[in-house]
């Protein structure tokens, strides 16, 4: 898979290729909907950013990995991420956040084993020390060391030994912590030893340790992203922004094309309606003209029929006969003629 290939390339210090692969895997993660894959992916990303000294991104991906672990209902995975979150906030000396995540990991403690349990016990010891319960803290730290060696547990036990007045044991444990992988633990161990030897007026040792501490401070201030992740992240974000802008332009062009098509369709439809309306008006006008001509013809035909009916009436025939004989028409004949006219030509 992309993720495993990215891990291999990262271990081979091919950081650019590894980062590109892991970011591609991250883009695919929501589509896969696999909590186990998301847990592993975000855990790897958090380690990548932790190595790049980007605590903000580290914490963000620890939280995403924790969410995926909880979706997968895997207590071991969830405890591991809770440990990582608590440890990071403890390093940053953000007590409230540290205590918050420790409260979440505490109910899972009986279900844990191995390194995950050891780290949880170590953080528990740190939490108990912050609460002032030295006895419980010492017990938790010793239980953690029975499972595996932890520099942080050694350092905290040294501080407890100092509080108990056992300076020899405290000094031994602080010296062991000088070899810790975490730079912040090395610095804290140097500070404790310098303070102790200064109180003992062993200025030679305190001076030597002070010089070494100054070197550590310089290293701490000069810590840089040797993997180049920050530059690649910025390049990736620029590429993503350009891609989003490109997609937005394509969407806007698509919308503009649809609007243009709609306007053309409306224009065509409007012209079609106008032509249809004009044709309809023309047809109606022609029909009205035809009806008027038909009406006139009917009127003419009706008048002709009425005239013929009037001419065929009996009174007309009588009047003709009287006229041929030279006899005048009577009053009754004229009355009959009027009645016939009214009947046939109303």
Kindly list the distances between the CA atom of residue 20 and the CA atoms of 46, 238, 303, 308, in Å, as whole numbers in the listed order.
15, 13, 101, 108
For residue 327, the 8-state DSSP code is P
Confidence of residue 325 (pLDDT cuts 50, 70, 90): confident
Chain segment 94-112, per-residue pLDDT in tens: 989 999 999 999 899 888 8
The H-or-E segment that residue 54 falls in is none
Rounded CA-CA distance 70/74 in Å is 6
Asked if pLDDT for residue 234 goes beyond 70, the answer is no
Q: Which of 43-57, 109-123, 316-330 has the lowest mean pLDDT?
A: 316-330
Q: Count Cβ neighbours within 10 Å for each residue of 36-70 and write b for 16 or more, e otherwise.
A: ebbbbbbbbbbbbbbebbbeebbbebbbbbbbbbb
For residue 325, the 8-state DSSP code is H
Chain segment 176-207, per-residue pLDDT in tens: 999 988 888 899 999 999 999 888 888 888 88
Asked if pLDDT for residue 235 goes beyond 80, the answer is no
23 Cβ partners below 8 Å, 6+ apart? 236
Highest mean pLDDT of the ranges 17-21, 92-96, 312-316: 92-96
Average pLDDT over residues 71-83: 93
Alpha helices in the chain (DSSP H): 2-11, 15-32, 35-51, 55-71, 75-91, 95-105, 114-130, 134-147, 151-164, 167-177, 183-199, 203-221, 229-311, 314-325, 331-344
Chain segment 209-220, per-residue pLDDT in tens: 888 888 888 776
């Amino acid at each position: 898979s992309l993720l495993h290939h990215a891990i291999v390339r990262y271990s081979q210090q091919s950081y650019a290729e590894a980062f590109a692969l892991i970011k591609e895997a991250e883009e695919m993660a929501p589509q896969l909907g696999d909590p186990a894959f998301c847990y592993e992916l975000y855990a790897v990303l958090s380690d990548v950013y932790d190595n790049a000294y980007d605590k903000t991104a580290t914490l963000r991906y620890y939280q995403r990995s924790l969410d995926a672990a909880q979706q997968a209902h895997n207590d071991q995975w969830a405890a591991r991420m809770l440990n990582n979150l608590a440890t990071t906030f403890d390093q940053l000396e953000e007590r409230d956040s540290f205590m918050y995540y420790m409260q979440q990991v505490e109910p899972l403690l009986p279900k844990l084993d191995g390194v995950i349990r050891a780290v949880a016990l170590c953080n528990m010891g740190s939490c108990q020390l912050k609460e002032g319960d030295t006895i419980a803290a010492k017990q938790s730290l010793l239980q953690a060391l029975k499972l595996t060696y932890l520099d942080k547990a050694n350092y905290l036990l040294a501080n407890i030994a100092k509080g108990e007045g056992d300076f020899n044991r405290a000094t031994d444990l602080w010296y062991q912590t000088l070899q810790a992988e975490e730079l912040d633990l090395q610095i804290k161990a140097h500070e404790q030893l310098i303070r102790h030897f200064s109180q003992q007026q062993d200025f030679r040792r305190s001076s030597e340790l002070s010089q070494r501490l100054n070197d550590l401070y310089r290293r701490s201030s000069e810590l840089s992203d040797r993997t180049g992740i920050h530059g690649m992240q910025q390049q990736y974000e620029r590429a993503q922004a350009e891609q989003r802008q490109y997609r937005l332009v394509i969407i806007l062009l698509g919308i503009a094309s649809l609007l243009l098509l709609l306007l053309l369709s409306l224009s065509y439809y409007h012209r079609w309606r106008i032509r249809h309306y004009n044709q309809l008006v023309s047809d109606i006008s022609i029909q009205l003209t035809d009806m008027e001509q038909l009406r006139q013809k009917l009127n003419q035909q009706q008048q002709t029929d009425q005239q013929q009916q009037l001419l065929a009436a009996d009174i007309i025939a009588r009047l003709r006969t009287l006229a041929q004989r030279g006899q005048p028409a009577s009053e009754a004949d004229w009355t009959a003629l009027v009645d016939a006219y009214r009947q046939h030509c109303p």
